[in-house]
Amino acid sequence: MGCNGAEFLRGREFMGDAPDVLIVGGGVIGCALAYDLAASGLDVTVLEQERVGAGVSYGAGGMLAPQIEFAQGGPGLEWGMRSLTLYQEWDEAIRQRIGFGLDLDLSGIVRVTNTPNAWGPSDPFIRRHTQMGYVVKRLDASTIREWAPQIHPAITSGIWVVGGQVDAYRATRMMAQAAVSHNALIRSGVMVTGIEDGCVMTTAGRLCAQMVIVATGAWLPHLVDVPLKPVKGQRLLVALPQLLARVPIFGDNIYVVPKASGQYFLGATTEPEAGYDQNPTLEALMDLGTAAVGLFPELRHASVIEPWAGLRPVLPGELPLIARVPRYERVLAVGGHYRHGFLLAPITARIVRDWMVSNAPLPPDFSYQRFETA
């Protein structure tokens, strides 16, 4: 199996000026890694081909909704819950460090449906989550409107679950800034073109480190052998002066996320056949707009701020990879967070930190072996 992460660091005195860790990719995953590793005293450099947050982390909803995203339970839900707890720690630590936090709002998530009298006493979602010890509150027509004053009058069934949101782009940049405050170096405009064991070939020359971490999101297969695919997602950002909702609202075919800026995020499409195409399309945006107006009729008066499309990185099983790349001792692949990159960013970074600093094993939930047995 070779050495674990912490053992590599013992060789650091032989590496001259080379950093302990080279992170390829400055999305939320690369920036979370940079923050947690740099805060632990490691010498970290991030190589980003464009600028921090230029990939799919730019336009995501920033929702932290483990019970909705992993409704069936399983390891995703458990890791998601642990990540939520870490978010509170990070928000506070980053605010103390650089004067700005992650704008974390953990007021919860509301799921509503057009089906009357849904979520009765024997509802499988409520039973399952309650048995696992997670909070689910049933909402009636009046309590739904405490969270979403302008929701369509026909909506009378809903639930409230634990969770919340960050502003995706801003949180990514704050993690990067917090990493820099711990002496991390972020090199924008440096593209990695190839990988060797412990080294990368880049548009700025060959660079080496004790450990290379490849966190290039949907572009992971361009550098390492992984069964990862891009899944295009489109969203529409709009503005409206009225308060429609206080927390993210999931409907049957749309979600609406109220942002601190007074804007509303309407999302999102799931287009696995679109490959690496990142162009928003009129058809998808019209569908999103129609579904959103169906949930919040006032949205028909909203001004369009920004249509956008990005590429979610997905692996078989829809859980990320946090594992050493086969054939290499000093290359770790961290990616494939699909719809959960913001939710899972802190716990992902903490797993890698514990591996590198404290010799903790990498969890089998995120291993390469999953694909061999699939």
CB nearer to ligand FAD: give 61 or 289. Answer: 61
Selected from 81, 192, 195, 315, the binder of ligand FAD by CB under 6 A is 192
| Binding footprint of ligand FAD, residue count (CB under 6 A) | 42
Q: x/- string (CB under 6 A) for ligand FAD, residues 57-76?
A: x--xxxx-------------
CB nearer to ligand FAD: give 5 or 61. Answer: 61
Region near ligand FAD per CB under 6 A, out of 33-41, 91-99, 297-305, 330-338: 330-338
Q: Which residue has the tokens 């991390």?
A: 184
Cβ proximity of 224 and 34 under 8 Å? no
Is 217 a binding residue for ligand FAD by CB under 6 A? The answer is yes
User: Which helix (DSSP H) or strand (DSSP E) does residue 138 occupy?
Assistant: strand 136-139
Cβ proximity of 359 and 312 under 8 Å? no
Is 6 a binding residue for ligand FAD by CB under 6 A? The answer is no
Pairing of strands 157-161, 63-64: unpaired
Q: Which residue has the tokens 């995953």?
A: 29
User: Which helix (DSSP H) or strand (DSSP E) does residue 16 occupy?
Assistant: none
Selected from 5, 19, 27, 164, the binder of ligand FAD by CB under 6 A is 27
CB nearer to ligand FAD: give 31 or 112. Answer: 31
Selected from 291, 343, 351, 356, the binder of ligand FAD by CB under 6 A is 343
Region near ligand FAD per CB under 6 A, out of 43-51, 110-118, 175-183, 366-374: 43-51
Own/partner pairs for 90-98, CB < 8 Å, 24+ apart? 90/35, 90/175, 90/346, 93/39, 93/178, 94/35, 94/174, 94/175, 94/178, 97/178, 97/181, 97/182, 98/174, 98/177, 98/178, 98/181
Q: Which positions lie near ligand FAD, rule CB under 6 A? A: 24-30, 47-50, 54-57, 60-63, 191-192, 215-219, 223, 233, 235, 267-268, 310, 312-313, 335, 337-343
